[in-house]
Amino acid sequence: MPTTWSPDQNLIWKVELPAPGTSSPIVLGERIYLTCYTGYGDGKGDVGSLKRHLVCLNRADGGTLWTKEVPAKQPEQDKIREGHGYATNTPVADPERVYCFFGKSGVVAFDRDGKALWQSEVGEKTSGWGSSASPVLHKDLLIVNASVESESLVALDRETGKEAWRAGGIKDAWNTPILAANPDGKMELVVAVVQKLLGFDPDSGKLLWSCKTDINWYMAPSLVAHKGVVYSVGGRSGGSLAVRLGGTGDVTATHRLWTGKKGSNVTSPVHHDGHLYWMHENLGIAYCAEAKTGNIVYEARIEGAGQVYASPVVADGKLYYVTRSGRGLVLSARPEYRLLATNELERRGAFNSSPAVAGGRIYLRSDRFLYCIGKK
């Protein structure tokens, strides 16, 4: 995996995207999928002309294979704060279909050639922050966090789009739910809401357990799990915790392993070799915490980092962070702070999307371009 890059170094290809968006790219086989939007944005144009697009690109050279559009269900909100835009939810794919979540416009499934197969609504509401949670796959189900749209988790049949189950009480949750095995090997679906983590049976939608977080804010960062324990950071005031899976009812006293005061309001953490890593969204501070105890191992301010909305990825023993201005920060994925490189592609555009890694290459998206970074 490359440690350094620039417009003249280790840039395999760069392609201009047809429109802006903040969803992350995903890679399946030799294809890349991402979403964008046209017709309206930042108060410009007519909101009635808003469309979302699913774009399929060739992984080898970034060439566009096809683009499909989905008109927005009206009335759509006429403003989303801080430029988050109308294409924030990252798609998910299996060998047969690609699934996109477009907020109140619903969930749309496409085949590998871009043919729309079905479209299902999950709620009518909107938010000034927009919608951001991405769909997840479980057996024959597609599960969506529709907190913004209906304060619900909604499971749809992958093949038909028919609703299989719905669970309410999902308030102030912009994070993508995760699936993780409990100590008995049974899968649980976990989502962070205001003041709580909630665990569900992903087959039926039955609520299994809840745990207090001591974080009194909406929850945007997604969770991470390892060996039967789920970890969460979140809240404007900062906070973190670890919860052992497998409980029933209120597990705050029995399964909450630790809590901490450090967190992030946007970026999600990663788990690697017994440690958690993340960055604060505004302060440019990189954190490393011991997963077993929550103790902070390092707390390092990176000069010039600025805001960070993208979540980190771990590959080849390195941590990759991307700032909103496009700086690529590469740190050693070890519990001692070491900044290996600070990279820049260009000082144009907004980099809000998390990078994707596949085949020794990094796929990085701004609101204008998609970049493929790899060793040359």
Confidence bin at 129 (pLDDT 50/70/90)? confident
User: From CA 368, how far away is CA 16, in angstroms rounded?
Assistant: 6
pLDDT(312) > 80: yes
pLDDT(4) > 80: yes
What pLDDT does residue 190 have?
Answer: 98
Instruction: Read off the pLDDT of each residue in 282-306 and give the average, rounded to a whole number.
Output: 96
Instruction: Read off the pLDDT of each residue in 9-27 and give the average, rounded to a whole number.
Output: 96
pLDDT cut 90: percent of the chain above it: 91
Q: Model's pTM, two decimal places?
A: 0.96
Confidence bin at 90 (pLDDT 50/70/90)? very high
More confident residue, 184 or 128: 184
Confidence bin at 349 (pLDDT 50/70/90)? confident
Instruction: Read off the pLDDT of each residue in 137-142 and give the average, rounded to a whole number.
Output: 98
What pLDDT does residue 200 have?
Answer: 98
Lowest mean pLDDT among 77-81, 141-145, 254-258: 77-81
Confidence bin at 315 (pLDDT 50/70/90)? very high
What pLDDT does residue 340 have?
Answer: 98
Instruction: Read off the pLDDT of each residue in 321-333 and give the average, rounded to a whole number.
Output: 96
Read off the pLDDT of residues 329-340 as tens digits, 9 standing for 90 and up: 999 999 999 999
What pLDDT does residue 43 have?
Answer: 74
Instruction: Read off the pLDDT of each residue in 218-238 and give the average, rounded to a whole number.
Output: 94
What's the mean per-residue pLDDT of the chain?
Answer: 95
Confidence bin at 173 (pLDDT 50/70/90)? very high
What pLDDT does residue 89 have?
Answer: 97
Instruction: Read off the pLDDT of each residue in 106-110 and give the average, rounded to a whole number.
Output: 98
Lowest mean pLDDT among 185-189, 212-216, 306-310, 343-347: 343-347
Q: Which residues contact 118 (CB under 8 A, 6 or more apart)?
A: 108, 109, 160, 161
More confident residue, 319 or 127: 319
Read off the pLDDT of residues 35-78 as tens digits, 9 standing for 90 and up: 999 999 877 888 999 999 999 999 999 999 999 999 999 998 88
What pLDDT does residue 309 have?
Answer: 96
